Chains A and B, each alone.
Chain A
Amino acid sequence: MTMTADNAPDLRAQAGRLFRRKRLTAFGIPLLVLVYLVYAVFAFDVPGLIRTADPENGRTLIRDSYSYKTHVSRDNRSGEVSVAIEGERKGQYPDGTAPGWVALGETTVITLDGGGIVTFGPDEVSYDIPGYGLVTARPGNGGANATFPTEELPEWINASKNRVAITTDEARLTITRRKTEVFRYETGWELFFFTLDSPYHGVGPGEIAARAMSGELPAIWNDFWHNRMWRHADVAWALFETVLMAFLGTFGAALVALPLAFLAARNFTPLMIVQQVARRFFDFFRGVDALIWTIVLARAFGPGPLTGALAILVTDTGSFGKMFSEALENVDGRQIEGLQSTGAKPVQRYRFGVIPQVTPVLLSQVLYFFESNTRSATVIGAITGGGIGLLLTQAMITQKDWEEVTYYIVLVVLMVFAMDWFSGWLRRRLIRGDDSGH
């Protein structure tokens, strides 16, 4: 009784100190994080970034990802009119043909959504803009020679002597001395299935199915698969290459790491020095990053999927070696002793005493890595030049094929989902009863 009374102030002081410390950490840690983030804002030069960021690029990217534009262009010297999707040769309409909204002739008439009409006459170009008026131009040696209905030009018209650009919601008209061009935006991924030179372009899905039934399936498939705009065959191959890199790398690493892991495990290698050497070996392979391995290996093997696979293999040998040796150290020794008591030879002891115990653990780790390496293979492919990563970076460098970039991104995400599902399925099939543990 007296003792508690004596100790009370002491305890109280202790509790007070504890609370003070807790309060300090409760406020101190968020404050530290905040200070660090403020430092990071300046270290990363965020204000400068905001100044240089180009929202127009973002808008183009987003618009292009779900829409396409058709270019109708007139060579002002020869008077020839050509129509091409995305302005690419591969998407050009054959001579004398055009989509429904373009009427070719002596005077080409382009009817736009919202009532705008563009005409390409023999010498004169005009754009009738609803709610504004008629803009005419006679492009030639003197420049664009445009006349506008109002003295003061609205901000969506950009005109100089040699170049006139009119941007409206439905289209964009540019007139220069040499060329007059209309871009019309439409929603969708045009020519995704068939290019214009295919007889199946513009045919409805019902009829395609009917024609496929009547024996045209190989031809239809051929036209789709070798579509020159979207290159489905190449894309599918690139996806396969990416998965191949991940497969070879992950399982190759597991095969290399397994015997080495025995050397690094305390309970299998009594020799301290061998253990230490094996462990430092793993640390080294993990420490030299995948990036460095990729560069070193690309020097020896050149660009391609094999280089990527080897880079994954080498890096993961280090990770697997470490994980496997930890798993081996957790092996239950009683089973091995039991086998030994029946007179099993060392090889048999490993085969029946160790392998069955560690297989589920190792396999589940390997399959986890397989899934995550599919993602890494995309990045490594961008550096070594193989697989979908290469296609992705190539499409991005052009800075205009954003619909293709979107297509690849969707495919990559689907691929990773598929691998995630597949490795999960395999894990459940191969390691029965594992789900109860998780």
Chain B
Amino acid sequence: MADTSGMSGGRVAAVRDDYMELTRRKRLYSGILLAVFVALMVSGFMVADARNAGGFWDGWTNVLDFPRVVVAEAAEKAGELPGHLIAFFPALIETINIAAVSTLFGVLGGALLSMLSTRGLARWPRLIPLFRRMMDVMRAIPEIVIALVLIFVLGGGPVPAMIAIAFHTVGALGKLFSEVNENASLKPVEGLASVGATWTQRMVLGVMPQVAPNYLSYALLRFEINIRASAILGFVGAGGIGYELKNAMSWGQGQYDESAAIFLLLFATIVTFDQVSSLARDRLTHGRKSEMLHQ
């Protein structure tokens, strides 16, 4: 009796030592990882600081100088602001149009590619890896690369930006869509196949109704991202509000009232679409949940 209790006591002590040892080692590893991370951050910051034209420590007190000048000038010429807002509104519409058209093409292309690369749905199962790699490459190429090449060939304007963003969107949405497709039930597809439906009919009638809410939710999210992207691409010469901003900025001091108007338009647009799309997405997912509960 005394023996066994002594033995179990020893075992408990051994287990505890083991556990403490394990915890200590885990902490050590976490500590090392943290130290490496901090070292990377600090040294990275120092390298970036050294390579920058203006240093961080000199510059950070001036961060608000530019916004202050812009706000002051805008306030000074507050009377002209509504006029500027109206003048730049068409450019804003162009930016939104670029985002909308590229999202539309992205949804169409992404849906097609995702179905071609989902097991069970694919038209040519052997080519699944090919379509997957294709989406990876489309996702990997930054929009600016395609936009600049197309600007050279096609000339400046909204179309190069639209194609560039659509290309990227196809890859990005294709990946998300194929994750949605994996969860789609194959029963309607098999049912349609048994009555002799073609592949297109199976996809449109069997899969689409199941995945449409999720597709729409991802598409809305992407639309919001694409508005930002099309504004940025405008800055490198692809039309829309970004291009106007670049021009307005080049007027320089004393002329920032136009820039202020553009900042305001861009900010309002992004916040609006951000809120609307998050509301709509919320309704899409929650609406679906409640329907599922009813069944």
Q: Which residues of A contact B (CB under 8 A)?
A: 33, 36-37, 40, 43-46, 49, 52-55, 57-58, 61, 241, 244-245, 247-248, 251-252, 283, 286-292, 295-297, 299-307, 309, 375, 378-379, 382-383, 385-386, 389, 392-393, 396, 399, 405, 409, 412-413, 416-417, 420
CB <8 Å contact, B41 and A248: yes
Smallest CB separation, B232 vs chain A (Å): 5
Closest B residue to A389 by beta carbon equals B144
Q: Which of A283, A303, A375 contacts B53 (CB 8 A)?
A: A303
A413 close to B140 (CB less than 8 A): yes
Least CB distance from B190 to A in Å reads 22
Q: How far does the alpha carbon of A296 sit from the alpha carbon of B71 in the complex, in Å? A: 12
Grouping DSSP codes into helix (H, G, I), strand (E, B) and loop, the B interface class, with mixed when no group exceeds half, is helix
Q: A54 contacts B155, CB within 8 Å?
A: yes
A247 to B42, CA, bound (A): 11
Decide if A302 touches B52 in the complex (CB within 8 Å): yes
Cα distance A230–B142 in the bound complex, in angstroms: 22
CA distance A375 to B164 in the complex (A): 14
Q: Give min CB distance, B42 to chain A, whole Å.
A: 10
Q: Which residues of B contact A (CB under 8 A)?
A: 37, 40-41, 44-45, 47-49, 51-56, 59-60, 62-63, 65-67, 93-94, 97, 100-101, 104, 136-137, 139-145, 148-149, 152-155, 157-159, 162, 228, 231-233, 235-236, 242, 245, 249, 263, 266-267, 270-271, 274
A209 and B244 CA atoms in complex are apart in Å by 55
Which of chain A's residues have a CB closer than 8 A to the CB of B44?
244, 247-248
Q: Which of A43, A286, A297, A304 contacts B274 (CB 8 A)?
A: A286
- Which B residues touch A40, using CB under 8 A? 97, 100-101
Taken together as a complex, chains A and B put the C-alpha atoms of A85 and B143 apart, in Å, by: 31
Q: For A306, what are the chain B residues with a Cβ–Cβ distance below 8 Å?
A: 45, 48-49, 51-52, 56
What distance in Å separates the Cβ of A29 from its nearest Cβ neighbour in chain B? Answer: 10
Partner of B235, one of A248, A291, A305: A291
Docked-complex contact B154 and A49, CB < 8 angstroms: yes
Residue of B101, B140, B159, B236 near A417 (CB, 8 A) is B140
Contacts of A49 in B (CB 8 A): 154-155, 157, 159
A412 touches B274 (CB 8 A): no
Of chain B, the residue at the smallest CB distance from A392 is B145
Q: Judge whether B51 and A296 touch: CB under 8 Å.
A: no
Q: Which of A33, A46, A301, A417 contacts B59 (CB 8 A)?
A: A301
Q: How far is the CA of A33 from the CA of B107 in the complex (A)?
A: 12
CB–CB B141/A413 < 8 A: yes
**Which residues of A lie under 8 Å from residue B154 when comparing CB positions?**
49, 52-54
16 sampled A-B residue pairs with Cβ under 8 A = A43-B158, A49-B154, A52-B155, A54-B154, A252-B41, A283-B274, A292-B263, A299-B62, A301-B52, A302-B54, A375-B140, A375-B142, A379-B232, A379-B233, A396-B149, A417-B136
- Additional A-B contact list (4), CB under 8 Å, known A57-B152, A306-B45: A248-B41, A291-B228, A392-B144, A393-B144
Checking B93, B101, B158 against A37 with a beta-carbon cut-off of 8 angstroms, the contacting residue is: B101
Determine the chain A residues whose CB is within 8 A of the CB of B245 once the complex forms.
291, 295
The total number of A-B Cβ pairs within 8 Å is: 178
Shortest CB distance A65–B (Å): 10
A241 touches B232 (CB 8 A): no
State whether A248 and B48 are in contact (beta carbons under 8 Å apart), knowing that A292-B263, A412-B142 are contacts in the complex: yes
Checking B41, B49, B53, B153 against A251 with a beta-carbon cut-off of 8 angstroms, the contacting residue is: B41
Report Cα–Cα, A382/B146, bound state, in Å. 13
The answer to whether B266 and A53 have CB atoms under 8 Å apart is no
Whether B48 pairs with A304 at a CB distance below 8 angstroms is yes
Write out the residue numbers on chain B whose beta carbons fall within 8 Å of the beta carbon of A244.
Answer: 44, 47-48
- A247 contacts B66, C-beta separation under 8 Å: no
Q: Which residues of B contact A295 (CB under 8 A)?
A: 245, 249
What residues on B are CB-neighbors of A405 within 8 Å? 149
Contacts of A292 in B (CB 8 A): 263, 266-267
Q: Given the complex, which residues of A lie within 8 Å of B51, measured CB to CB?
A: 241, 304-306, 386
Q: With A37-B101, A244-B44, A245-B48 in contact, do A61 and B54 touch (Cβ < 8 Å)? A: no
Closest B residue to A314 using CB positions? B63
Best-surrounded residue of A248, A286, A300, A417 (most CB of chain B within 10 A): A300
Is there an interface contact between A248 and B45, defined as CB atoms closer than 8 Å? yes
Whether the Cβ atoms of A383 and B236 lie closer than 8 Å is yes
Pick the contact of B140: A291, A303, A420 (CB < 8 A).
A420
A289 touches B145 (CB 8 A): no
On whether the beta carbons of A300 and B267 are closer than 8 Å, the reply is no
Write the chain B residue with the least CB distance to A243: B44
| A289 vs B53: C-alpha distance when bound (angstroms) | 23
- On whether the beta carbons of A383 and B48 are closer than 8 Å, the reply is no
Nearest CB of A to B118, in Å: 15
In-complex Cβ contact of B54 among A52, A55, A300, A417 (8 A)? A300
Closest A residue by C-beta to B45: A248
- Out of B47, B104, B235, B263, which one reaches A383, CB within 8 Å? B235
Of all chain B residues, the one with the shortest Cβ separation from A283 is B271
A124 vs chain B, min Cβ distance (A)? 39
Q: Are B271 and A61 in contact (CB under 8 A)?
A: no
Task: Pick the contact of B52: A305, A392, A396, A413 (CB < 8 A).
Answer: A305
Closest to A237 in B: B51
Q: Which of B56, B152, B274 contacts A287 (CB 8 A)?
A: B274
Are the CB atoms of A44 and B267 closer together than 8 Å? no
Asked if A291 contacts B149 (CB within 8 A), the reply is no
A110 to chain B, nearest CB (A): 31
Interface centre among A52, A286, A306, A378 (most CB of B within 10 A): A306
Per the bound structure, the CA–CA distance linking A54 and B160 in Å amounts to 13
In the assembled complex, which residues on chain B have CB atoms less than 8 Å from the CB atom of A61? 149, 152-153
